Chain A
């Protein structure tokens, strides 16, 4: 099968979405091209409890709109069309914002300006959603990295009933879930195969806001299986922009940021269920505060990985889980170093990234020293600078090649006032924790 170049398409269409027998089918098309069907599988799905029908329909519509971003971006046509009923104005606004900011990095990488393209059609109003008396328990998405594992331990300590949930086939995440000891729920997601054909025909490609898609999938799951809370593990640093482009802030992890969390949470309360909570447990924390919490528990040392290059692969050796080359490896190594005994850290990674001169450029980017912050979910520049400064004061670290270089070359150019670790570890800023989970914050103090 050979498909036309989607960049030539005039319209991106949301065709329809339906759900049956544990599978949601989300259908899209470019112009009058073939239907692109994405399938989301919900294993052992129960019958939808009576009374949740309207909420479920709203959730499925949201999922249809949000997951469309994977397909929309292949062509970014000038027109977005919704077959059937258009979203109300509030929903259309949420989607416009998500598509524009969620594709910010994509637009920057491809040299596109999407402001003229992204406008969802809108019509009508909605009636406020009622409370559904959803069971008081949490869905906790697990990514295989440190953040969600910190959340697991916080919720366990808090006595919260929680299920570890993940989307897709990743042996590494599955191994992490087993280690948590929590019940697990593995949701399936299958992209429309035609997307690969469109790629061959010249489609645009690049970063998409996958956390938004996973969030929408979990909203459907929460209604189906009965959970009143979806608790992500995004921290404060996720809200800060990577760079400015065409007068617009570009943030690689926009859908992990506070603005998206707050907007989606409010939308869910008004459009889906008044008692459905969408929040991030770690929101008041910096990356460094999260790594400090992670350091308290060593049970995940041999199974977790934040590396985006090797993250799908589970292997017995550290090199199977940590490529050692990418910004995530650099950052997690650096952020754990002040809080973990050096031999333990080196055993986790299998090597010492800070004693490897070939990694200099990567660490410079984290410090925002002569480089811009990488397009990855990594902490703020000041966090990296403070962590490296702390190491440069520690005898067991300070002779390592990149720590010594920091001391000799970078440090003289920095303002010493911004280098203290302690202020960065304090929880601060807004959060959206529901009252039941407010006590989790005590662990941060």
Chain B
């Protein structure tokens, strides 16, 4: 018996804790359950534990329920289930067999029941319920044996399902609903019996006293029902993740834990994508005003996600971005009279007739467009065809699919619209079919072609954080990033070289600022990493990123070629590498430059018809590479995307045939295909796609020897961005290479080699306070480093003089240029800065000095190499 000193008083409140399949499948997990229940009990609460079946058992029971006349299959499954529970009984060290045997006997009886032959629905419900009846029976015995007196509660005695209008027989038995309201009499009656109870998720009884099943997410829903009935102080759903996140962590590792949501926000997030909580379980707790928390069994120290009533004073913020795929839109154009009465009623009646439920609705004067979620019924039956035929009686129907619905969730969405401008710009080139914003001010959903949705959620999430529409820094709403909580083992960020060489850098800064400093060892290391990849045959460093001769020397020594875009670059490169390692890839260059490049022996890339149309003689008998535009561009900013009709680079795919004919006419051999779609890409799949598309295209040519998939290897700017996985990249490339062994693979990295090798040192000139803003001015700005102004690039900024002091002040770091865009970094936490401090701007080795200017007649930063 329990010997706790703090016996609960007469008015002790209730806490409902729910555990899923993996949490009840081993003895250590049952010890965790005991500890959690015990903690609440020790704090004076009455505890109701709701459990799922052991892992995998419900699937086996379902297989029995659906085995039809296959008696031997039912018997085999029954034996497996019995064996699993015998093993669990032994693992838990239990001795009293009778309670378990009772349910195992029920299983045996049901498996040979005559109703099995027809798959009778009430029989199926009884079969499915056994999983939780077995697990809760084992749990009751174990918890009690371990000193926590626990009483077994039959969920069916307290949860009474009610048939819904139009509910099918299947729904009544296997997807039932239970109306619940606080029942103080029940709470008091239970309190008279014990302090700790264990019951079954997933089931209830109907008005006839038969067993019914609650359907998907049923155990969470049971916990919510009990929470409402008992008017619990809290319902806790214990699972394998810390809670709900601001995006699906599998595609957005930077997604933040949501510390606090209101019921409606949680409902939206659960409905639009998050799998951790079934949306059905929110309504009962909302009606009863019972708080619900999602928590991680393995990380009980984390508070998880708390879901409760709306906090009036909370600042509006986007809480999450999610996507649902496989959406079908039905667009209906009215063919009747303007403002025809009853049109919507006619239309919606037909959806109801076919059992299809509508999700989103958008309307115009003569058009209504609705969305349908992908259901088994929709994809594998002719229901859509039948619906369209019926709808055609009253309107013109168009089916638009497959679509993806991207939803932003957060209370106060309307007041966030101004901040969303930059976020919505991400939808720029995509076909947007429908936008829906409900009047409850909670969500904004945008429906686009599914094919266009790849990579969109991570991009949107980053844009939401950047625009502060998602207030990631607000600890009242957001917790840590998923990657911080769970991905610590993933290939991580290295300590930057400049931390180790701080004294050398301060000494250099003492001589003069502003100053770029490059670390050759870092360049050498990056080059070594690239050369270690198996798939690429040749590398060409894109000289424009940084053309400092000492760096080029290191890169040339590592065996890379040099990719040039101007005669001056070619001239410099020719002093460092032999001509066969020179690649000339200009854009809209004059004729003479091509002739000069051939004269140097460089490989030349064309990306337009014009040169062959008008200057055929310059190219006669030459070998060239062709740069094509594969369409959709990618990258971290509009201005670094180099694919798509809006980009000036590359030959359009529909002109390739004409290009081939021109080449043939002038005896020009196309020996390589090239595409480069953008910069700062961190997803290895991107190059796989480019490679596969180019290789497929190359089969239309006869002389192709090389496929040049460009560069754009991303360098993560922020600590919460994933590092580009070079091994994964190599594996992707190798797979394609095996399919097309006849082509050499070339790549053109630029930023990857040099960005992290360079820092910009600047000195604090003045500080200023204006309203809530603190400005710290430094002695150079966009004249030295234009990336923040031009690309909105984010560079880490530290106060090198005070590197060890706490970063407690929020600064806008600005330069001296007379231009309001001369901001090197906004909202940066730094130690209090004083005049003369040395500020370090990191990852400035690429497109820094090479893009510098004398704007305002201020000299840009000098350069030195260490």
Contact = CB atoms under 8 A, between A and B. Distances in A.
Interface of A: 169-171, 196, 199-200, 203, 205, 298, 309-310, 312-313, 315, 317-320, 323, 325, 341-344, 346-347, 350-352, 355, 394-397, 399-400
A134 to B, nearest CB: 34
A168 to B, nearest CB: 9
A310 B378 contact: no
A355 B397 contact: no
Contacts of B705: 200
B379 A344 contact: yes
Given A317-B454, A351-B402, A343 B388 contact: no
A309 B696 contact: yes
Given A323-B693, A325-B653, A350-B402, 18 more contacts: A169-B738, A199-B702, A203-B702, A315-B688, A320-B689, A341-B379, A341-B382, A341-B383, A343-B401, A343-B402, A350-B450, A351-B450, A352-B401, A395-B391, A396-B389, A397-B399, A399-B398, A400-B398
B735 A343 contact: no
Contacts of A395: 385, 388-389, 391-392, 397
Most central of A315, A318, A399 by chain B CB within 10 Å = A399
A181 B64 CA distance: 24
Nearest to B699: A309
A355 B388 contact: no
A62 B382 CA distance: 50
Interface size class of B (residues with CB under 8 A): 35 or more
B439 interface: no
Interface string B718-742: 0000000000000000011011101
Interface in B376-400: 378-385, 387-389, 391-392, 396-400
A169 B739 contact: yes
Contact of A399 (B382, B396, B402, B703): B396
B670 to A, nearest CB: 12
Contacts of B399: 342, 396-397, 399-400
B692 interface: yes
B374 interface: yes
Nearest to B372: A343
11 contacts: A203-B702, A309-B696, A313-B735, A323-B696, A325-B653, A341-B383, A341-B385, A343-B326, A395-B392, A396-B384, A399-B396
* Closest 10 pairs (CB-CB, A-B): A396-B388, A312-B739, A395-B388, A309-B696, A399-B398, A395-B392, A205-B702, A346-B401, A351-B451, A346-B402
Contact of A200 (B385, B400, B703, B738): B703
B246 to A, nearest CB: 24
Nearest to A394: B385
B401 A342 contact: yes
Contact of A396 (B379, B397, B699): B397
A259 to B, nearest CB: 27
Interface of B: 326, 328, 374, 378-385, 387-389, 391-392, 396-402, 449-451, 454, 653, 688-689, 692-693, 696-697, 699, 702-703, 705, 735-736, 738-740, 742
A328 to B, nearest CB: 12
A310 B692 contact: yes
Contacts of A313: 692, 735-736, 739
A234 B18 CA distance: 58
A352 B454 CA distance: 17
A347 B388 contact: no
A348 to B, nearest CB: 10
A310 B696 contact: yes
A396 B385 contact: yes
Contacts of B740: 312
Contacts of A320: 689, 692
A318 to B, nearest CB: 8
Contacts of A341: 378-385
Contacts of A199: 702-703
A186 to B, nearest CB: 13
Contacts of B735: 171, 313
Nearest to B671: A200
Contacts of A200: 703, 705
A341 B703 CA distance: 43
B836 to A, nearest CB: 55
Nearest to A298: B380
A352 B449 CA distance: 10
A347 to B, nearest CB: 6
Contacts of A344: 379-380
Given A342-B384, A343-B328, A344-B380, A196 B742 contact: yes
Nearest to B452: A351
Nearest to B374: A343
Contacts of A309: 696-697, 699
A171 B400 CA distance: 32
Nearest to B378: A343
Most central of A298, A394, A396 by chain B CB within 10 Å = A396
Most central of B384, B385, B401, B742 by chain A CB within 10 Å = B401
Nearest to A400: B398
Nearest to A404: B398
B739 A170 contact: yes
Nearest to A195: B742
B370 to A, nearest CB: 14
A312 B383 CA distance: 35
Contacts of A310: 692, 696
A364 to B, nearest CB: 15
Nearest to A352: B401
Contacts of B387: 396
A350 B451 CA distance: 6
Contact of B397 (A298, A343, A399): A399
Nearest to A314: B735
B597 to A, nearest CB: 22
Most central of B388, B693, B738, B739 by chain A CB within 10 Å = B739
A318 B380 CA distance: 18
A347 B374 CA distance: 10
A262 B384 CA distance: 44
Contacts of B398: 399-400
Contacts of A397: 399
Most central of B382, B398, B693, B736 by chain A CB within 10 Å = B398
A347 B326 contact: yes
A400 B381 CA distance: 20
B400 A355 contact: yes
A364 B397 CA distance: 24
B388 A394 contact: yes
A312 to B, nearest CB: 4
A41 to B, nearest CB: 15
Contact of A351 (B449, B688, B703, B736): B449
A205 to B, nearest CB: 4
A344 B383 CA distance: 12
Contacts of A400: 398-399
A395 B379 CA distance: 17
Contacts of B449: 351
A199 B703 CA distance: 7
B366 to A, nearest CB: 14
A319 B699 CA distance: 19
Contacts of A396: 384-385, 387-389, 397, 399
A292 B274 CA distance: 38
A347 B736 CA distance: 24
A15 to B, nearest CB: 23
Most central of B381, B392, B702, B742 by chain A CB within 10 Å = B702
Contacts of B696: 309-310, 323
Nearest to B389: A395
A325 B696 CA distance: 12
A54 to B, nearest CB: 36
Contacts of B389: 394-396
A191 to B, nearest CB: 9
Contacts of B742: 196
A342 B379 CA distance: 7
Contacts of B380: 298, 341, 344
A114 B736 CA distance: 35
